[in-house]
Amino acid sequence: MFNRNKNIPAPPPTPEAAPGDPVFHHAIAVASGKGGVGKSTVAVNLAVALAQRGARVGLLDADIYGPNIPTMMGLETLPPARDNKITPAEAYGVKVISIGFLVKPGQPLIWRGPMLHSAIRQFVQDVNWGEIDYLIVDLPPGTGDASLSVAQTLPLTGGVIVTLPQQVSLDDARRGLEMFRELEVPLFGVVENMSYLELPDGSRMDIFGGGGGERLAREAGIPFIGAVPMDPSVRQGGDSGKPVVISHPESPVAKALSAIADDVLAKINASFQQNEAIPINIRG
């Protein structure tokens, strides 16, 4: 488990980037207090929406215990390696890396700390990412070692917390917020997923309660990024490898997810002039 009292060691001096090394301009982590709240769904649709806007986007599935990103992106295998480096898979204009490409479905994933750390480092460093404007990182749920490894491997521009509206999810999400604070990762804000279900008569049903995400954001003093409604096409799209921003771009849920991408872009652009974006050097 992530030790909240542990001081994060200062990164060693950054080595000069060698030719062929990946270049990341921004890395954005998507986290949640627990699984099943739609973290990967938000990560996938955020990545695809950013690619739809013309950005060079990478999607790093760091959820090493539940690597769902390949399925959600309709990908099965990695292309052959080149120059001793892993070639990322690609779908919908997004380059994708996941441990899910390297293990058989159903195979249990047991990681020791150092193994986990070196796997995450390899996925950043030993991959032919090329130049990436936005690397979206799907963190495992909770506050474990993988998140620490990601934050130690590459500086994160910001973090997004995904929660459901109900109290138990909020309690967990609060721990996720604290984790980003400990890791000194700026928080872009809170996304509330499965906020409501739109009924055929147009009325809204709050399945998991209402307004929890906004309350969490307010209490934590960070922005509320947006609410994403429930829609069966999200689940269908996830299972069939076609993210809802591609399969049903005009649906309210796709529009909500696209608006989240615009909001994150605006927050990045507010802090960095796009041309000045300092490429992220991988930490040693």
Ligand X SMILES: Nc1ncnc2c1ncn2[C@@H]1O[C@H](COP(=O)(O)OP(=O)(O)O)[C@@H](O)[C@H]1O
Residues in touch with ligand X (CB under 6 A): 32, 35-41, 68, 193-194, 228, 230-231, 234-235, 238, 253
At closest approach, how far in Å is the CB of 269 from ligand X?
26
Residue 38 interacts with, from Mg ion, ligand X, none (CB under 5-8 Å by kind): ligand X
At closest approach, how far in Å is the CB of 135 from ligand X?
17
For ligand X, the closer of residues 15 and 36 by Cβ is: 36
Query: How far, in Å, CA of 189 to CA of 224, rounded?
Result: 5
Contact (Cβ atoms closer than 8 angstroms) between residue 158 and residue 188: yes
For Mg ion, the closer of residues 257 and 282 by Cβ is: 257
Residue 133 interacts with, from Mg ion, ligand X, none (CB under 5-8 Å by kind): none
Q: What is residue 24's DSSP assignment?
A: E
Query: How far, in Å, CA of 268 to CA of 60, rounded?
Result: 19
For ligand X, the closer of residues 186 and 232 by Cβ is: 232
Query: How far, in Å, CA of 137 to CA of 192, rounded?
Result: 18
Take residue 264 and report the two structure tokens written for it.
């994150």
Residue 28 interacts with, from ligand X, Mg ion, none (CB under 5-8 Å by kind): none
At closest approach, how far in Å is the CB of 178 from ligand X?
18
The distance in angstroms from the start CA to the end CA of the chain is 22
For ligand X, the closer of residues 97 and 280 by Cβ is: 97
Strands 187-198 vs 224-230: parallel, antiparallel or unpaired = parallel
Provide Rg for the chain, Cα atoms. 18
At closest approach, how far in Å is the CB of 68 from Mg ion?
5
At closest approach, how far in Å is the CB of 34 from ligand X?
8
Query: How far, in Å, CA of 154 to CA of 63, rounded?
Result: 16
**Given the rule CB under 5 A, which residues bind Mg ion?**
40, 68
